[in-house]
Structure 1
Amino acid sequence: MKTLYLVRHAKSSWKDASLRDRDRPLNKRGKRDAPRMADVLKEKVNCPDVFVSSPSRRTQDTAVSFLHVYGKLIADLELEEALFHGDEGDMASVIGRLDNGHQSAMLFVHNPGITDYANELAKVSIFNIPTCGVAAISLDTDCWSEVGKCPAEMLFYYYPKGLDLQF
C-alpha cells in the first residue's frame, strides 16, 4: 500500500505584475493557510517519506510550511520541473519515478492538474481543489509505477475554508 498526498499551493499574490508566474509569492491568506493546513495534516497522518514540489515560488513556500511542521529541512524537498502547471500525465510520470522504498509521498502542485488527477485517480468528482487543499489517496500497490493502474481510494479531502465544517 502507498499513500499519495496531493497539495495545491496556498493562495498566491498578484500584487507585483512584473513578476513571472513562477516567481509569485504567497499572499497574506496563503501565508496563514499553509501552516494551518500543515498542522491539520500532522494531526491526521505521519510524516510523508518524500516531499516533491513544482519549482514555482508559491509551491515551494507552501511546501516549506509543511516541512517545518513535520520537522524536516528545506533540503528534504525535491523539485520537479514537470510539476510546474503539470497535467495528469506529468504528475503520473513524476510519481512513477518515486523510490518504491517510500510508502507515502506529498506533492505540491497546481490547478487544474491537481483536481483532474485526483478525480481521475480516485474516481471521485471534486469540482475544484481550492488553494492549499489537500487530497489524500490510498493506492493498492507496492510499486509507484503502478499508480493509475491499481485500485485507489480517496482517504480525505481538506481545504482551508472547509476546516470549520469538517470538525
Structure 2
Amino acid sequence: MKTLGIFRHAKSDWNDARLRDFDRPLNTRGRVGAAVMGKHIREHAVGWKRILASPAVRVTQTIEIAGEAAGETPPITWDRRIYLASSAALMDVLREQDGAPRSILLVGHNPGLEDLIFDLVPGNGENPLRDIVEDKFPTASYAVIALDIEDWSDLRAGIGRLEHLVRPRDLDPSLGPTVTD
C-alpha cells in the first residue's frame, strides 16, 4: 500500500506582468494559505517520506512557508517535468520512484493535479470528496489518496481511494473564493 499526497501551490501574484509564469511569487493571501495548510498537513500526520515538486517560484514558496508552519520539511526532489504537467506526465514521474517510500507528497499545478485525482480515483459517485474536486481543486488544496500497490512502478488509473481533502477555506473562511477567483 502506498499513499500519495497532492498539494496545489498557494495563490500566486499576477501584479507584475513582466514576470514569466514560472517566476510568479505568492501573493499575501497565498502566503497565509500556505501557512494554514502547512499546519494542517502536519496535524494530519501522514508522515511524508518524500516530496516531489515543481521548481516554479510559487511552488517553492508554498513548500517553504508550509514547512516553516509545520516545523519540518521532508527531503524534496525538484523536478521541472512537474511544472504545468499533465496527469499522464505526473504518473510517469511517480512511476520512476523507487519502491521504498511508502508516502510521497506531490506539489505542483492545475489542471494536472486535479486531473491526476480524476484518473486515479474512480468516479462512481460513491466518494463525496471526489465530487468536491470535480467542482474545483483550488489553490493550496491538499488531498490524500490511498493506492493499492506495492511499488510506484505499478501506478495506473482507477486504483486510488481519495481519503482526505482539505481546501484553505475549510480551515479559514477568509481564504475562500472572492470575486476574482
Q: TM-score, normalised by structure 2?
A: 0.84
Q: In terms of mean alpha carbon deviation, does 22-31 or 119-128 score higher?
A: 119-128
Does the alignment pair 1:162 with 2:170?
yes
Specify the code of the residue in structure 1 equivalent to 2:32: R
User: Aligned residue pairs: how many?
Assistant: 163
Q: Is this contact kept in 1: 2:99–2:150, CA < 8 A? A: yes
Between the aligned residues of both structures, percent identity stands at 31
Q: How far did 1:136 drift?
A: 0.5
Specify the code of the residue in structure 2 equivalent to 1:114: L
The corresponding residue for 1:137 is 145
Specify the code of the residue in structure 1 equivalent to 2:95: G
Alpha-carbon separation, structure 2, partners of 1:161 and 1:72: 23
**What are the equivalent positions in structure 2 for 1:5-154 lying under 5 Å apart?**
5-68=5-68, 69-72=70-73, 76-123=75-122, 124-125=130-131, 126-127=133-134, 128-148=136-156, 151-154=159-162
Specify the code of the residue in structure 1 equivalent to 2:111: P
Task: Indicate how the Cα distance of structure 1 residues 145 and 70 shifts in structure 2: closer, same or farther if over 3 A, else same.
Answer: farther
Specify the code of the residue in structure 2 equivalent to 1:37: M
Task: Indicate how the Cα distance of structure 1 residues 70 and 119 shifts in structure 2: closer, same or farther if over 3 A, else same.
Answer: farther
Give a deviation string over 1:62-101, Cα, whole Å, max 9, x none: 122333325237xx22111111000011100110011211
Specify the code of the residue in structure 2 equivalent to 1:115: E
Q: Is this contact kept in 1: 2:120–2:160, CA < 8 A? A: yes
Q: Is this contact kept in 2: 1:141–1:150, CA < 8 A? A: no
Alpha-carbon separation, structure 1, partners of 2:20 and 2:100: 36
Q: In terms of mean alpha carbon deviation, does 54-63 or 19-28 score higher?
A: 54-63
Q: Is this contact kept in 2: 1:140–1:150, CA < 8 A? A: no
Specify the code of the residue in structure 2 equivalent to 1:6: I
The corresponding residue for 2:126 is none
- For structure 1, the residue ranges without an aligned partner over 5 or more in a row are none
Q: TM-score, normalised by structure 1?
A: 0.91
Specify the code of the residue in structure 2 equivalent to 1:30: G
